[in-house]
Structure 1
Amino acid sequence: MTKYYTLLLALLVLSCAKNDQPTVTTLHQNWEFKSAKDTIWNSATVPGNVYSDLLAHDKIPDPFVGSNELNVQWVPTHDWEYKTTFTLDEKTLKTSNIELTFEGLDTYADIYLNDSLLGKTNNAFRTWTFDIKPFAKKDNAMYIRFFKTSIHEEKEAGKLDYVLPPGPRVFTRKAQFQYGWDWGPIVNTSGIWKPIKITSWNDVKLDDVFFKQESLTDSLASISVEYTITANKDEENASFEVKNKEFTHTVEFPVYKGTHTYATRIRIQNPKRWWTFNLGEPHLYTFETTLKQGNDTKGQQNVKVGLRTIELIRDKDSLGETFFFKLNGVPVFMKGANYIPQHSMQNKVTDAHYEKLLNDTKNANMNMLRVWGGGIYENDIFYELCDEKGILVWQDFMFACAMYPGDKAFLENVQQEAIDQVKRLRKHASLALWCGNNENNEAWHRWGWQTDKTEAQKKQIWDDYIKVFNRILPETVAKYNPSIDYWESSPSYGRGNPKFQFEGDAHDWGVWHDALPFERFEEKVPRFMSEFGFQSFPSYEAIRAFTGEDSISINHDSYITHQKHPRGFNLIREYMARDYPVPTSGDDYVYMSQLTQAKGMTMGMEAERRAMPYCMGSLYWQLNDCWPVVSWSSIDFMGNWKALHYKAKKSFEDVLISSIVENDTINTYIVSDKLQALEGDFTLTFLDFNGKSILSKKQKLTIPANTSQLVVKTALPDINEKPENYVMKAVFDYASSSSSSSVSVSTSSSLFYVSRPKDLKLPEENISTKVNNTNKGFSIEVSAKTLQKDVFLYTKAKGHFSDNFFDVLPNQTVTITFTTNAENIDDLAFKTLNNIKNNSALAY
């Protein structure tokens, strides 16, 4: 009977408990917009921006097509107005608190609710929250006026007796690339670019939960769970619960009026660590957190936590100073690229775009992306996917290639921006580094920006730099995210300073900007290469998209805007002529430009990997595009892999065979990122282009963990054949020498040519393809009796080839899959270097 009454009492208590969590609704409906100069309102999309809204109503031509970019430059010369109406129900109106939160307004805006000015905004990277309880009623009208950025920029510039390089954008806290870059259009957006939310709540609200890792060993993880609460008054009987599938932890505490952060500690026995995908499992713990007041639930948040240590190691040595990352105490070579915004109109980027691009990153064996400082602090989903996929993030603050002001208002604005973003992103296991800016330090000291300044002006500009990048930003990181290192500016030194090769991270643009040969990458290897690049044309699909023509041209009028580098075309051709035949037809030229880019860039990647542990990072410029354009990207705007991405995938394999000719000797290395030693058989075979073996070597090898090893030297005279007539095939069949009882055998291989591609005596084209249907598309068998160099498969059907720009050895069949929803690929075609090189109509 006692048990019966106890159960009855428990049920009675539960029946009295209520869910009193905040109610959150988005305010994305019924929006309209117009120019402040117009009288007619048109429907608007929120989140969005004025360009996408104008485009939806055919009020501007597509700025990505032809030279239309030039015809839409009037847009940022107008002020823009947005308005909506919305209804609040009686329950919401009766709550004690009603807040309106703008996660992103671009940029200078006045916000009115029911004809009352709520506030003004001046930073696209900040979150703006307003108490609307005094203004809210059942039927509400909201109006936002966005002011053209030039008003503020001209006003602030007028206060100075000098010009801050490079120009007006430095005064406005928004995505800097919107003002134009050497790969991006001038699309200076305005509008509501992130979600708007109305949050209603009563006495207590759970604002944020942060799992702060205090210590981590193989046997124990200690975590301080910090939870931030806002309350209208003091409350005595609050509790906070942390729960996962292994335990439940509850703490009771008093809540104090106002906004305060409280903490409790949890411990995890024998914790599983988070690793990059190539070294282990990117394990994430899922915790349910609940705030209660008495029996009433006041807030709940589910949090995913990755346990790991990440350190930037900068130690003086005999050559300079190291620059590498230790993940869980292990030095890790960082393989990856620089990431820019995926679209000039951010609202066009969907979750599917993020998923695809980060899958493409992982599938190319990249373990790090650098979020470049001229773009945006990315949406939450970007970092969540990096957490899940095991990809580290180097995070720049959003300052790039400029000197910024240092007045009180600007500094306060930057301070709050940094707090907002650090607190938002610190929870992610993928976060590896906070970096103050992109190239600002380098630009000031070596780009000639000081030449027209007085000594007093130079001192003022540099003092303002120090305020932002040596005080505000590092102090914010130290306060809110102390477990992550801060790096003032990338690079430490540019190519103009000899130290770039020996200290810190490097941006080496000797290739491209200085037109130095690709061999530069092999001769000047830095400690960590955080930028290097070379341009190519995008896919045929992207070219058709912006030219509006089916044929592939490299001289179309649209290139006036779709090649942003003033010497771009000349440099592509100059480098192409050094290594490849120069075609006359447009489609062949596009193909050859991609091969040229891939050749040079992979020379750099492999030189940097061969140099480990001296060099411990290779992040090329750039991963992706924000519009269809001739650029440095390895994936074009349409999502197509260029030759660079396919070949980077091979150059970034965890076990890489890489060769280089030095002093008439082929030096062959095996580079291993594996955390266990490798043992196996290594074979070198020199073949002529008909498949005849010229020379063969075989040996047993043991490759220590996480090393680069020179494993064999082959003197060129010993090969007894002219270099233009053979290819070297290297194969390493290996097993891990760990204590595990299950051993799997793996194979790494590579092909190496001594001669430049244009000098190879390639046989006439002799290739066949066979296409078969599969559940997800098609399989394509490619075979040849003689060597076929850089086979490129293409079709107008949208999809993805599992490999491309690959070589086919004599009497070999290579099977490629094409993943697509298309019902057929009747237009499947291919190009090979053999065919183009042997075409007598080409201009050499």
Structure 2
Amino acid sequence: MGAKMQKIVLDGIWELGICSNDTFRKNKINIVDLDSLCNSNITVIEGHVPGNYEIDLEKAGIIENPFYGKNLLKSLDREMDHLFYGKKFVLDKVINEKYILQFDGIDTIADIYLNGSLLAHTENMLRGYEFEVGEELLNKGDNELLVHIIPVSLEARKYDNPLFQNGLKYEMDSLNIRKSPYMYGWDIFPRMLSGGIWKSVRIFNKPDFRFIQSYLFVRNLNTDYSSAQLEFFYEVDLNEAPYHGFEIVLEGHCKESSFSMNWDVWSKAGHFTFDVENPLLWWPRRSGEPELYDVKVQLKKDGVCYAQKDFRFGIRTVELQKTSLTDENGKGEFCFWVNHKKTFILGTNWVPLDSLPSRGKERIEPSLKLVEDLDCNMIRCWGGGYYEDDYLYDRCDELGILVWQDFMQACGLYPENEAFLRNFEEEVVWQVRRLRQHACLALWSGDNENDMSYGWLTNYRLDPNQNRNTRKIIPQVLRMNDYIREYLPSSPYMDETAYRYSTTDTYLPEQHLWGPRDYYKGDYYRNAFAHFASETGYHGCPSVESIKKFITPEGLWPYKDNGEWLLHASSPTMKKDETYAYRIELMANQIKVLFGEVPDNLEDFACMSQISQAEAKKYFIERFRIGKWRRTGIIWWNVIDGCPQFSDAVVDYYYNKKMAYYYIKRSQARTALIFDEPAGHNVQLYGVNDYGIDKDIKFKVTDVITDRIIYEGETSLPADSSVVIASVDASEHHAFFLLEWTCDGKKFKNHYVLWNPPFNKDLYMECIRKAGLQSV
């Protein structure tokens, strides 16, 4: 069975050297080990892995909080910093041993030295790396690693840039570099290129026997759920042992259900299928329980286990039924089917949880609690960020939260040369093999808005269907490694038919409904043809309490011509004409649209902005829910900020909830009462039921302003439906309706404002108070 496993996790404290590129060049610095680092006369501080070097600079007192006030500007001066991470470790034995050195994530361009010798060069933040090393590089006893991280701004200058390549103003360098796009500057993130060993590092002796790959998946699920056919794929490393006598032993257990299978090994890789009778199924939230089997797979011979893998497995199928186009009458489709059942999606976009990605993992659990509390059944991992930690997908498996997974390209026309495509393909293979076992993973999506970028950047003189990244590389990787899962080449997706028909996304069945961002009940939002909105949102100012944590006292007010507000909105400079400088004025204009004026103080500005956002998000969600099944889902933008800022998120970076959070929670109740917009003197009241069975409710509608009950009754809501249950007189155009209902012994509330803008802010807040609706 080989030698005893020696595994050393190299996380924790490292030596961290930092110098500018000018210093690096002028002094001809050559750092390959800890001695040369300590004798280099550059700044050396205590560093941390996983980490980003700004965190260590702040801990060392060299920089102030980079997210406070105007400090974001100072990060621009660090874009040409070289980083040197050094670490010693001890091995008990190296003779006749092979070791695996694993880096789960390096940001980004790096040379890795082991005991002073160059081991490897990395060029991709968005994947992990494994290196096999032996006694030619390792010592018994003391060893050391040195990682030199090269500035991405410097690296990007090595590449040719053909006319075709194009992207957002601050993103052009990012097109060639496989680093999280948002770090170059996005409308929801500041420009902070950063660097570091942002995930774990470990070294262990290579086992004589191991599973290189394994994948258990559903080949077929009977429509009556009486049986499921599963397939197991494996690839094993037996070193030089003969195949004869080895077998794969697979066992799975979930409550009273179990399965097992033995399979003789005759090749390095193999497949076998088997049936599970009366399986317990994995269902997403709002549809059932996410049952998971505990699976153990062993490589055995003569009763001895030589290698083992353990994982959790959900028996489910996910299909996406979609058409190329839709029309004014809804003759199109974009609908997820889980276990042969149409599934209405209420979800949220998931963006990086911190500007400095090494801090993201610690924020996963509290952020998922928000998603769970809002009863979302899907998150969309947005393509401008990074592939999340395993922990996110493990928890989504357990919570029944479907994951729409973008590959990490966004809002640009990316390179298609062979070197780039090879780097990207290795990333895609790495991530597909890492994530495919998860039941929560519903969809691979090729990118975020790149098909639309052909329109923005070339006026569709070029066909997005010729994109080799999403039409060749990814499909081929999925065909080889995960052909059972749905793939959407882009979001929104413009296939050949759509491209021939239209140069806009107006008739696409899946859209990002941002539009003019004017009055949230305007024609664009009310009359969009989309069946499914995978992005839509509205600005909401953080609370004054939160703003004071990232804006200096002198920068708090007024908002106009305020450089600190621009930096946190997220312009990389304080220039008034920067690409993202519009976002503060947009937030103010949305207040003006709803209230007729912009307030003259911060407290009212924050409050009125939050009302505007809350009512808008509520309207978007409810518009889709009453349209069930003409409409099939909405993934609103977004649950939580990844940095201190003014944004569309409904929870700020400090976990303070905006008003929209509470409105969304009420609007997403599994049984809900929702008003449509008035038609003449009447407004129709819908009852929405997302349960798989009929639900009886008792309800009433009260005009809060007059304290008068407008309507009350009892009804049965059909399973999985949206139906009109009443028509209410809307001739009193200043009504503020409180909707109350009881279902299964539980009480629920919602509201509807019949007013036309401009709203009276004080009256609005009084109505919320009288209605007993939690707001902030």
Does 570-579 or 110-119 show the bigger shift? 570-579
Equivalence map 1:298-447=2 (5 Å): 298-315=306-323, 319-351=330-362, 353-445=363-455, 447=456
Tell me which of 779, 784, 788 is aligned to 2:766: 788
TM-superposed deviation, 1:55: 2.1
Residue in structure 2 matched with residue 233 of structure 1 by the alignment: 240
Encode CA deviations 1:95-115: one digit per residue, 9 max, x unaligned: 642111111111111111122
Distance in 2, Cα, partners of 1:626 & 1:406: 31
> Would you say 1:635 and 2:651 are equivalent positions?
yes
Does residue 274 in structure 1 map to residue 243 in structure 2? no
Alignment of 1:72 with 2:79, yes or no, is no
Q: Is 1:727 aligned with 2:730?
A: no
Residue segments in structure 1 that go unaligned for 5+ positions in a row: 1-17, 735-743, 766-786, 791-806, 817-829, 832-844
State whether residues 737 and 752 of structure 2, in contact with CA within 8 Å, keep that contact through their aligned partners in structure 1: yes
Q: Closer, same or farther in 2 for the Cα pair 1:484/1:198, shift >3 Å?
A: same
Deviations 1:133-168 (A, max 9, x none): 13111221211111111233222135x356533412
2:569 matched to 1:563? yes
CA distance in 2, matches of 1:479, 1:163: 28
For residue 182 of structure 1, what is the aligned residue in structure 2?
187
- Report the equivalent of 2:574: none
Match of 1:145 in 2: 148
1:97–1:730 Cα change, 3 Å: same
Q: Partner of 2:638 in structure 1?
A: 622
Cα contact 2:684–2:728 (8 A) shared by 1: yes
Tell me which residue corresponds to 1:507. 512
Letter of the structure 2 residue corresponding to residue 81 of structure 1:
F
| Cα deviations by residue, 1:382-432 (Å, 9 ceiling, x for unpaired) | 111111111111110000001111111111111111111011111111111
1:317-355 per-residue CA deviation (whole Å, 9 max, x = no partner) reads 77442001011111111112111100011222344x211
Q: Is the 8 A contact 2:16 2:83 kept in 1?
A: yes
Q: Take 1:760 and 1:548, find their aligned partners in 2: how far apart are those partners?
A: 31
Where do residues 198-217 of structure 1 align in structure 2 (5 Å cutoff)? 198-217=203-222
How far 1:531 sits from its partner (Å)? 1.1
Change (3 A) 1:313 1:161: closer
Which of 130, 134, 137 is the aligned partner of 1:135?
A: 137
Q: TM-score, normalised by structure 2?
A: 0.87
Q: CA deviation at 1:46?
A: 0.7
- Tell whether the 8 Å contact from 1:21 to 1:298 is kept in structure 2 after alignment: no
1:61, distance to aligned residue in structure 2 (A): 2.3
Could you give the per-residue CA deviations for residues 583-625 of structure 1, whole angstroms, max 9, x where no partner exists? 3221221111111111112111111111111111111122221
- 2:201 aligned partner: 196
Change (3 A) 1:501 1:607: farther
1: CA distance between counterparts of 2:700 and 2:480? Answer: 54
State which of 202, 218, 226 in structure 2 corresponds to 1:219: 226
CA contact (8 A) 2:166 2:457 kept: no
Q: What's the secondary structure of 1:191's corresponding residue?
A: coil
More deviation, 659-668/356-365: 659-668
Mean Cα displacement is larger for which, 21-30 or 41-50? 21-30
Query: What is the identity percentage for the equivalent residue pairs of Structure 1 and Structure 2?
Result: 26
Q: Do structure 1's residue 602 and structure 2's residue 585 form an aligned pair?
A: no
Q: Are 2:379 and 2:404, in contact at CA under 8 Å, matched by a contact in 1? A: yes
Write the letter of the residue equivalent to 2:543: S
CA contact (8 A) 1:107 1:121 kept: yes
Shift of 1:582: 3.8
What amino acid is the match of 1:711? I
SS at match of 2:138: coil
**How much does 1:188 deviate?**
0.7
Cα distance in structure 2, aligned partners of 1:161 and 1:729: 57
How far apart, in 2, do the equivalents of 1:664 and 1:361 lie? 38
Instruction: Tell me, yes or no, if the aligned pair for 1:411 and 1:468 is still in contact at 8 Å.
Output: yes
Supply the distance in 2 between the matched residues of 1:163 and 1:520 (Cα, whole angstroms).
31
Residue aligning to 2:754: 754
> 1:476-625, aligned counterparts within 5 Å?
476-492=477-493, 500-512=505-517, 518=522, 520-549=524-553, 553-555=557-559, 557-564=563-570, 565-580=580-595, 582-625=598-641
Return the alpha-carbon distance in structure 1 between the equivalents of residues 633 and 505 of structure 2.
14
- Alpha-carbon displacement from aligned partner over 1:645-667 (angstroms, at most 9, x marks no partner): 11111111111211122223211
With the length of structure 1 as denominator, give the TM-score of the two structures: 0.81
| Native 8 Å contact 2:673 2:687 kept in 1 | yes
Find the residue that maps to 1:188 and give its secondary structure. Answer: coil
The CA deviation at 1:94 is: 4.5
Q: CA deviation at 1:255?
A: 6.4
Q: Deviations 1:760-801 (Å, cap 9, x if unpaired)?
A: 6976x9xxxxxxxxxxxxxxxxxxxxx9334xxxxxxxxxxx
Within 5 Å, which residues of 2 pair with 1:73-92? 73-90=76-93
Give the 3 Å change call, closer, same or farther, for CA 729–515 of structure 1 in structure 2: closer
User: What's the CA shift for 1:24?
Assistant: 3.0
Q: Pick the structure with greater CA Rg.
A: 1
Task: Report matched runs for 1:97-136 at 5 Å.
Answer: 97-133=98-134, 134-136=136-138
* CA–CA separation in structure 2 for the residues paired with 1:664 and 1:523: 20
- The answer to whether the aligner puts 1:34 opposite 2:17 as a matched pair is yes
Note the aligned Cα RMSD (angstroms). Answer: 2.9
Residue 670 of structure 1 is matched in structure 2 by 687
Q: What are the Cα deviations for residues 190-236 of structure 1, in whole angstroms up to 9, with x where unaligned?
A: 22111112121342122343212222232222222223312321333
Q: 1:165 aligns with which of 164, 167, 185?
A: 167
Given that residues 22 and 205 in structure 1 are in contact (C-alpha distance below 8 angstroms), is that contact kept between their aligned partners in structure 2? no
What SS class does the counterpart of residue 467 from structure 2 fall into?
Answer: helix
**Comparing 368-377 with 286-295, which one deviates more in the overlay?**
286-295
Q: Which stretch of the first structure deviates more once superposed, 423-432 or 546-555?
A: 546-555
* C-alpha distance after superposition, 1:43-83 (max 9, x if no partner): 21011122222222222222111111111212221222111
- Distance of aligned partners of 1:666 and 1:162 in 2 relative to their CA distance in 1, 3 Å threshold: closer
Match of 2:722 among 702, 708, 727: 708
Distance 1:240 1:669, change over 3 A: same
- Is the contact made by 2:292 and 2:312 (CA closer than 8 Å) also made in structure 1? yes
**Conserved in 1, the CA contact under 8 Å of 2:608 and 2:761?**
no
In structure 1, distance between residues paired with 2:17 and 2:9: 22
Question: Aligned partners of 2:207 and 2:113: how far apart in 1?
Answer: 24
Question: Is this contact kept in 1: 2:590–2:609, CA < 8 A?
Answer: no
